[in-house]
Structure 1
Amino acid sequence: MEMPDGSEFISEGIYKEILTHEKIISSADFKPMTEDVELQALFEKDGEKTNFTFNVVHKTEEYCLQQEKMGFMNGWGSVFDRLKAFVEASDNA
């Protein structure tokens, strides 16, 4: 996966469950920073909009806290900022 600064890192995972327009559940390994987490992307129709919930499930609370200290939440924040810009650009195209 390419980062905004041009650097790259390896992202691997397995899709565990896909329900169209409802949810995507996968494993995720973002080597070397994060390994063996579950990603849950949940979608819920709300009129003309879609509510989106995103969960990252770590095996232990300790591992979750370690990841938070490493900036895990900031990393996902930048991903969602990029997603928002993409969606807004697509809406204006």
Structure 2
Amino acid sequence: MSETNLPENRTLTLERTFGAPLELVWEAWTQPEHIAQWWGPKGMETTVLEHDFTVGGQWKYLMKMPNGSEFVADGVYSEIVERQKIVSTANFKPMTENVEIHAIFEAVGTQTKFTFHCVHETEEYCKQQEEMGFYNGWGSLFELLADFVQNQ
């Protein structure tokens, strides 16, 4: 079998342990009123336009930059395992399109181990996204999530 375009070769991964219980981190990720508080790059205001948290359900978030420009992130949920895993398609136009994101949650005492995978269509696209700042972008988003769950 060819090793070209295997999922592991086109996936970028971030891991983090949040100093908050699994229940709280799960709710922050899945409840629209919480998502609006932390989702998006620092300094952006997020409005949840759609959030049907079911398999086959769609999500759509509007992010407004301080300069007034806006962009939309959207996707469709393909797998939800309560308090364990969320898989969704995702588009963050115009920067990123047609990726699949996997959010994996695991209780570790009173903390939550969180693993985030972003699967791209091709290895080339994956490398391009990494060079465009994937780790900084998503890392800063998860900093906002960490701050949010710490202050709940």
TM-score of Structure 1 vs Structure 2, range by shorter chain: 0.7 to 0.9
Give the CA deviation at 1:45: 2.3
| Equivalence map 1:1-93=2 (5 Å) | 3-6=41-44, 7=65, 8-90=70-152
- C-alpha distance in structure 2 between counterparts of 1:13 and 1:26, whole Å: 6
Q: Which runs of 5+ in 1 are unaligned?
A: none
- C-alpha distance in structure 2 between counterparts of 1:46 and 1:2, whole Å: 26
Give the CA deviation at 1:50: 2.5
Give the CA deviation at 1:39: 0.4
- C-alpha distance in structure 2 between counterparts of 1:10 and 1:28, whole Å: 11
Give the CA deviation at 1:2: 5.3
The aligned amino acid for 1:12 is D
Identity level (%): 53
Distance 1:16 1:31, change over 3 A: same
Root-mean-square deviation (CA), in Å? 1.5
Instruction: State the structure with bigger RCO (CA 8 A, min sep 6), 1 or 2.
Output: 2
Give the CA deviation at 1:19: 0.8
The aligned amino acid for 1:40 is H
SS of corresponding position for 1:64? helix
Q: Which runs of 5+ in 2 are unaligned?
A: 1-38, 45-64
Figure out how many residues of one structure are paired with residues of the other and give that number: 90
